[in-house]
Amino acid sequence: MKNERRIEPAYSVQTAVDAQHSLVVDYELTQDAADNNHLSVIAQQAKTMLNKEELTVCADAGYYDTVDLKTCEDHKITAYVSIPQQKVSKKTNTPTPEYYHDKFTYDPLTDTYDCPQGQTMHYHRTVKKPDGRRMRIYHTGACQQCAVRSVCTTAKKGRSIYRWEEQAVLDRLKQRLAHAPQIASRRKAIIEHVFGTVKKIWGYGALLLRGINTVRSEIALMMLTYNIRRAVNIVGVSALIQYLRTP
């Protein structure tokens, strides 16, 4: 995994943290360098742990995964996940910001897109991605004579727009982020309270053990210690002992 511009052997700790008290609700140790298929898994675990019918979660752009977001919705989990910026070819620097995907307007009544130049893009065909998503493809023949084609696309057949058949899931995410930006902005304050405490204040910057099974035990002790110390700070030692003694 990347660590301060270096590539190092590492584990990833997926963690669900309570927004009110900064307590660790649940966690999972993985060997995956990327986070983008773990949100629904840890969110469902947290939902079960809290015995809730519904749950609201927020995460950074690293967790943005369209299929995973659909899984969250299917399990009554409302997600606030930052949307990553569109990837642009380093060789051609195309498309330019004025012709990013979100600048193309979709009309659900006609099932068409309007491009920034006012041309209508019609449904062409459907393809299936390796992850199982079915994508509808839209394009227009107007690209051949378009004066701004060079800043929109380098494809020989002109610009194409791909629309996931479950696009409504992503549209709802965009609406949530626009209407409640403060939820996503609080994310760092929630999750970093845990790792800031463990790594910076306690100086626990590296694991002591090796091998995923033994590291799981080390992480379990780390999270238990954090939660106990956090609970002591919130309610005090006496109240915590009394609670633990209550049948």
Domain ranges of the chain: 2-84+172-208, 97-165
Sign of CA dihedral 50, 55, 59, 61: positive
Alpha helices per DSSP H over the chain: 39-50, 66-74, 167-179, 181-185, 187-195, 212-235, 237-245
Q: Write the pLDDT tens digit of every residue in 96-141.
A: 999 999 999 999 999 999 999 999 999 999 999 998 899 999 999 9
Average pLDDT on 76-88 reads 91
Q: Quote the pTM value.
A: 0.87
Q: Write the pLDDT tens digit of every residue in 44-71.
A: 999 999 999 999 999 999 999 999 999 9
- Give yes or no for residue 158 having a pLDDT over 80: yes
Q: What are phi and psi of 14, to 5 degrees?
A: -80, 125
